[in-house]
Amino acid sequence: MTDRNLTFLIVHGAWTGGWSWERVLNRLHAGGHRAYAPTLTALCERKHLA
């Protein structure tokens, strides 16, 4: 393990959203890292914004 904090950006695949990475995000945050998994516009619950 490293003692430095990292930043992660997780980009989901088709037919899902950033919410599907919640468990991973929680573990990264618990480890002191910054982590983001946004839901991309025009996909999943944001499809109406296409």
pLDDT digits (tens, 9 = 90+) for 1-50: 557 899 999 998 877 888 999 999 999 999 999 999 998 776 556 667 66
Asked, for residue 2, whether it belongs to a domain, the answer is no
Asked, for residue 1, whether it belongs to a domain, the answer is no
Asked, for residue 42, whether it belongs to a domain, the answer is yes
pLDDT at 44: 59
Quick one: how far is CA 43 from the chain centroid?
14
pLDDT at 23: 97
**Total tally of structural domains belonging to the chain:** 1
**Which tokens is 16 given?**
């899902």
pLDDT at 42: 65
CA distance 15 to 7: 25
> Residue type at 44?
C
Enclosing domain of residue 39: 7-49
